[in-house]
C-alpha cells in the first residue's frame, strides 16, 4: 500500500511539474522586453553573494551544448562564460533569478532554463519558453484606377503588409456598398498564389492579396491581415461617374440658350438704335433717290448745277 501511495505521488509530481513548465511560457515582441521567470525564493538570512545564478538557452542543434546567456556571480554580473551573441546584450537578473532581456530579436525565441547554485549545489532550476512575435505593418490598399470610375468598371485592389512573424494565414477584404457589407476571404494556404502571396523576408513575412470587383455603386473597401494580431487598413472610397449621355444633353441646352440670348440682344440693339435716329429699318424709297436714278442727257462738258440752285427751272416749267 505504501508503495502504491509513493508511486501515485511521483506520478502527481511529474504531472504538476509538466503543468507548470507548459504554463511558464513568455511572449515578447521584437524590440521589446522579455521577462523570463525563474521564481527563486531566497531565504531571508541569505544574500545574493551566497549564490550563482545563470541562464542557459537550448540550441536548435541537439548535438551542441546549451549556451549561457546571463550570469550573476555572487551579486555581480559575469560576462566570461556568456555566448558571444549575448555578451553585449542589455539584461538584468533580479534577486529572485528572473531575467529581463531588452531589445528582443527573433533569434531570442527558444527554450531557457535558470539554475541557482549555492556552495556547488543546485538549489533551484526552472524551465521557461520564450515566444517572439513581430507585428505586421498596417495594411496598405493600392490600386491603379481613379477614385471615380465609369459604371460597370472592373477594378482590382491590392492589400499588402510586411515584417510580421509568425506566418499569417490570409487576408479578408470587406466591401461596404450602402447598407450591404460583403467579406472576401483570401486563404493563403489554399488559394492561387497570384491572389494571396506570402514571402519569407529574411526572418519575417510579407503578405499581399488581390481583389477584383465590378463597381456599379459608390463603395468603400478595407482589408485585414489575419495574423497573431489582426490589423486592418484605412478605408478607401470608390465612386461611380454620372452617365455621359445626360451630360451632353445638358450642355446642348446651355449652348442653345446662349445663342438665343445673343441673337435677341443683337436684334434689340439694332432696332432701338434705328428708332432713336428717327429712321425706319425697312427699305427706303425717298424722292432724292428717284431723281438720282433718272437718266440725264449728255452735258457736252458743261457742268450741271444742282436742281435746286437753277433759277430758271421754274420759268421753263411754266412755258410761254
Q: What is the pLDDT of residues 71-109, one digit of tens each?
A: 999 999 999 999 999 999 999 999 999 999 999 999 999
Instruction: Annotate 168-213 with DSSP letters as a single string.
Output: --EEEEEEEETTEEEEEEEETTTS-TTTEEEEEETTEEEEEEEEEE
Q: Identify the pLDDT of residue 315.
A: 44
Q: Identify the pLDDT of residue 23.
A: 62
Q: Identify the pLDDT of residue 274.
A: 72
Q: Which residues of the chain have pLDDT under 70?
A: 1-23, 62-63, 189-197, 200-202, 243-251, 276-320
Q: Identify the pLDDT of residue 243.
A: 63
Q: What residues form DSSP beta bridges with 165?
A: 134
- Tell me: domain 140-240, CATH 2.60.40.10, correct? yes
Q: Identify the pLDDT of residue 293.
A: 43
Q: What residues form DSSP beta bridges with 149?
A: 240
Where are the domains positioned within the chain?
A: 23-133, 140-240
Which of 191, 192, 194, 201 shows the shortest CA–CA distance to 161? 201
Q: Check if 23-133 and 140-240 are the same fold.
A: yes
Which of 101, 91, 96, 100 shows the shortest CA–CA distance to 124? 96
Cα(297)–Cα(290) distance, rounded to whole angstroms? Answer: 16
Instruction: Annotate 211-248 with DSSP letters as a single string.
Output: EEEEE-S-EEEEEEEESSS-EEPPPEEEEEPPPHHHHH
Q: To which residue does cell 542543434 refer?
A: 61
- For Cα atoms 124, 13, 60, give the angle at the middle one, nearest 5 degrees: 60
Contact 66, 56 (CB under 8 A): yes
To the question of pTM greater than 0.75 for the whole model, the response is no
Q: Identify the pLDDT of residue 279.
A: 54
Which of 200, 198, 218, 216 shows the shortest CA–CA distance to 208? 198
What fold is seen in the domain 23-133? Immunoglobulin-like (2.60.40)
Map residue 33 onto helix, strand or coil: coil
Cα(73)–Cα(87) distance, rounded to whole angstroms? Answer: 15
Amino acid at each position: 500500500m505504501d508503495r502504491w501511495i509513493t508511486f501515485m505521488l511521483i506520478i502527481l509530481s511529474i504531472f504538476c511539474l509538466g503543468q507548470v513548465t507548459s504554463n511558464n511560457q513568455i511572449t515578447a515582441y521584437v524590440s521589446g522586453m522579455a521577462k523570463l521567470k525563474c521564481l527563486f525564493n531566497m531565504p531571508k538570512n541569505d544574500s545574493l553573494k551566497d549564490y550563482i545564478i545563470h541562464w542557459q538557452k537550448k540550441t536548435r542543434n541537439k548535438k551542441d551544448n546549451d549556451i549561457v546567456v546571463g550570469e550573476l556571480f555572487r551579486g555581480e554580473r559575469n560576462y566570461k562564460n556568456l555566448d558571444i551573441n549575448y555578451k553585449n546584450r542589455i539584461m538584468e537578473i533580479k534577486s529572485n533569478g528572473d531575467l529581463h532581456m531588452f531589445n528582443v530579436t527573433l533569434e531570442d525565441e527558444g527554450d531557457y532554463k535558470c539554475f541557482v547554485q549555492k556552495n556547488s549545489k543546485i538549489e533551484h532550476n526552472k524551465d521557461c519558453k520564450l515566444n517572439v512575435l513581430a507585428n505586421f505593418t498596417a495594411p496598405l490598399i493600392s490600386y491603379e484606377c481613379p477614385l471615380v470610375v465609369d459604371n460597370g468598371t472592373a477594378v482590382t485592389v491590392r492589400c499588402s503588409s510586411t515584417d510580421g512573424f509568425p506566418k499569417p494565414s490570409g487576408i479578408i477584404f470587406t466591401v461596404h456598398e450602402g447598407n450591404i457589407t460583403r467579406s472576401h476571404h483570401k486563404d493563403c494556404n489554399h488559394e492561387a498564389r497570384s491572389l494571396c502571396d506570402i514571402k519569407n523576408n529574411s526572418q519575417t513575412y510579407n503578405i499581399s492579396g488581390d481583389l477584383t470587383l465590378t463597381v456599379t455603386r459608390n463603395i468603400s473597401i478595407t482589408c485585414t491581415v489575419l495574423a497573431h494580431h489582426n490589423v486592418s487598413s484605412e478605408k478607401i472610397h470608390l465612386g461611380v461617374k454620372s452617365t455621359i449621355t445626360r451630360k451632353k444633353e445638358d450642355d446642348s441646352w446651355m449652348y442653345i440658350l446662349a445663342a438665343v440670348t445673343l441673337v435677341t440682344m443683337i436684334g434689340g440693339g439694332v432696332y432701338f438704335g434705328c428708332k432713336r435716329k428717327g429712321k425706319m429699318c425697312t427699305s427706303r424709297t425717298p424722292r432724292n433717290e428717284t431723281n438720282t436714278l433718272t437718266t440725264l442727257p449728255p452735258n457736252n462738258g458743261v457742268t450741271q448745277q444742282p436742281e435746286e440752285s437753277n433759277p430758271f427751272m421754274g420759268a421753263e416749267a411754266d412755258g410761254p
